[in-house]
Amino acid sequence: MEFLDIPALHRASGTVRLPGSKSISNRVLLLAALAEGETEIRDLLDSDDTRVMLQALGKLGVELTPVGTHAWKVKGAAGRFATSEAELFLGNAGTAFRPLTAALALSGGTYRLSGVDRMHERPIRDLVDGLRQIGAAISYLGNDGYPPLQVNPGRIDLSGPIKVRGDVSSQFLTSLLMALPLTGRSTTVEMTTELISKPYVEITLNLMAHFGVQVERDGWSRFSLAANQRYSSPGVIHVEGDASSASYFLAAGAIGGGPVRVEGAGRKSIQGDVAFASALEKMGASIEMGDNWIEAQAPKSGRLSAIDLDLNHIPDAAMTLAVAALFADGPCTLRNIGSWRVKETDRIAAMAAELRKVGGVVEEGPDWLRISPPPAACLTPHASINTYDDHRMAMCLSLAALGGVPVRILDPICVSKTFPDYFLRFAEITAPVIAIDGPSASGKGTVAQRVAKALGYAYLDSGALYRLVALAAKQAGVSYEDANAVSLLATNLPAEFIFDRILLAGTDVTEAIRSEEMSSASSKVAALPSVRAALLSRQRAYRRWPGLVADGRDMGSVVFPQAETKVFLTASAEVRAERRYKQLISKGVAANITALLQDLRDRDQRDSSRSVAPLAKGADAHLLDTTELSIEQAVESVLGWDQQNTKDRR
């Protein structure tokens, strides 16, 4: 895909489950590979950078076994890789390149490490100098001070302290610290400069401790390891959600109203980037935090406030603030961000150039950036954003669309470095939703489909999902009342919607789920709370650009509570029975209107008296009684309300 067009967006709200943290994933993979024993890593990030690390470890002879989705078993090499000669290609993954360089330099083998062109422009001298001091044999194969590298067996001598700079990248210190236990000797690392990005070193120390190795730290200038410390597997380890990735959604909540909640990282996180939430709070956003979640909302006043902050501690998430600055009430200054210049691209230059395209007024210094919002706070529509093969540029600039302007993201695939389905998740919190709820046979399905067609929106028939669950239960011989068994079926429902056909496990069941038996069975399975919970995220995943029309019983109340437009569509039971009767007769199905009416009343009763998400008109929903209306009139009413809401939002 050469580009992705994001439509003008006006609101952001919803919940996002974060992918695993890149920083934790790659550290844990290496530590598990070096440890004694087998480690099961759960919730590992699945992205380019972790794939690069997995491939490299595989080449080094580490036994890696996938277990389910996002989980791996790693058989630790107990400090010595089985393969003593290898050529490793590490893409543009700094979190793989630097730590592997150090670990291999101390492991007595012969290795060659290379990456993409940009990796060969990213400095590594400080790490190589540190390793050479203790006798590692590393040489530059291209430009002095940069990858690619040749690593040969060295004569490791740890008699003196290792002196290393910390002002270009904290990954050099991280890499040394993670590799040093391989020597089994006591060592000290001394910083010769100020250390940047300290929270990343904290992640390192935290994870090393998890694998049984303690590092004594004297402030941020001296790090000591006692002799004979070895990594040992903690058994099972969970990877937290990525706090840097969280920044895009939290900023979206702060810019686009909110609330937006991210799940997977929170107060208990070991990642420094959760501090992004505090920076956003300084811009006036309201932030709430739990142990494992963070939620952001726009300031009560509406507009974000200008900031002037030192952001050395959160270099990655700070990029997100640069885009949030477009929505501030004055110039924002981001300071002490010099490390941006040696990341995936020169991020200071790249950010300045792309923010200007959307109307930002930007001044740039060697290690700072000042962004003023566009005059009259109007962003420039239809900007074509270059992404420089930098995932964070793509994710950051997508937020500009929340200024109510369409934005084109070039080479959107670059997000796969850390977040392959970023745009799907972003659409799930930003696409407008029209929720149409109402009782059985009220005609809401027909109205919803026509509204979707008129607006070019996607359509979700949530009732079909409950009908599919009922059919799956019938096929499996499971009782409709057996909550555990039915919700298991709902969780793994092999359903597909292809144009106007509905498939269950590859079989077309479009007509089969509409039978009277399935109508009644679906309202029974829909009364089970665990079934409703199992279908929740599946329904939310239908939210996509340019918008979604969803019909059901709880679209406006539970599934999309922040829907732009909510409609409660109903008609008298008699008229609904009559409509259903005519529908069946036209299909050549024999029907009895009295029985249909009784059945409808029974279903209404079940749907509106159940304990969870009972059918009811919400206070914020428009009432549309279609007893005396044609379909066209009903469609016109919904479109009219939606248009009015859209206007009010702007």
Which residues of this protein are in contact with ligand DC, per CB under 6 A?
440, 462-463, 466-467, 519, 522-523, 526, 552-555, 603, 607
- Of 415 and 600, the one with the shorter C-beta distance to ligand DC is 600
Residue 607 near residue 526 (C-beta atoms within 8 A):
yes
Q: How far is the CB of 553 from ligand DC (least distance, A)?
A: 3
- Of 22 and 467, the one with the shorter C-beta distance to ligand DC is 467
Phi-psi category of residue 428: left, alpha or beta, with phi > 0 → left and psi -120 to 50 → alpha: alpha
- Give the separation between CA 593 and CA 50, rounded to whole angstroms: 61
Structure tokens at 609: 């008296």
- Of 137 and 541, the one with the shorter C-beta distance to ligand DC is 541
Could you say which of 49, 316, 554, 642 is catalytic? 316
- Of 52 and 555, the one with the shorter C-beta distance to ligand DC is 555
Is 648 a residue of the active site? no
- Of 174 and 442, the one with the shorter C-beta distance to ligand DC is 442
> Cβ-count burial of 301 within 10 angstroms (0-12 exposed, 13-18 middle, 19+ buried)?
exposed
- Of 241 and 463, the one with the shorter C-beta distance to ligand DC is 463
Structure tokens at 275: 């501090």
**Among 634, 466, 452, which Cα is nearest to 549's?**
452
For the packed helices 462-476 and 483-491, what is the interaxial angle rounded to 10 degrees? 120
Strands 149-152 and 137-140: antiparallel
Backbone phi and psi for residue 416, each to the nearest 5 degrees, phi listed first: -65, -10
Q: How far is the CB of 466 from ligand DC (least distance, A)?
A: 3
Query: Which residues are within 8 A (CB) of 130 and not within 5 positions of it... i.e. 6 or more apart?
Result: 162, 163, 164, 172, 176, 189
Q: How far is the CB of 491 from ligand DC (least distance, A)?
A: 17
Question: What is the residue whose two structure tokens read 């695993």?
Answer: 20
Q: Which 8-state DSSP code applies to residue 359? A: T
Query: How many other C-beta atoms can be found within 10 angstroms of the C-beta atom of residue 88?
Result: 24
- Of 411 and 437, the one with the shorter C-beta distance to ligand DC is 437
Helix ranges (H only) for 60-197 are 94-105, 125-133, 171-179
Q: How far is the CB of 347 from ligand DC (least distance, A)?
A: 44
Query: How many other C-beta atoms can be found within 10 angstroms of the C-beta atom of residue 524?
Result: 19
Q: How far is the CB of 587 from ligand DC (least distance, A)?
A: 16
Q: How far is the CB of 529 from ligand DC (least distance, A)?
A: 11
Q: How far is the CB of 534 from ligand DC (least distance, A)?
A: 13
- Whether the upstream peptide bond of residue 546 has omega within 30° of 0, thus cis, is yes
- Give the separation between CA 598 and CA 419, rounded to whole angstroms: 51
Supply the residues annotated as catalytic.
316
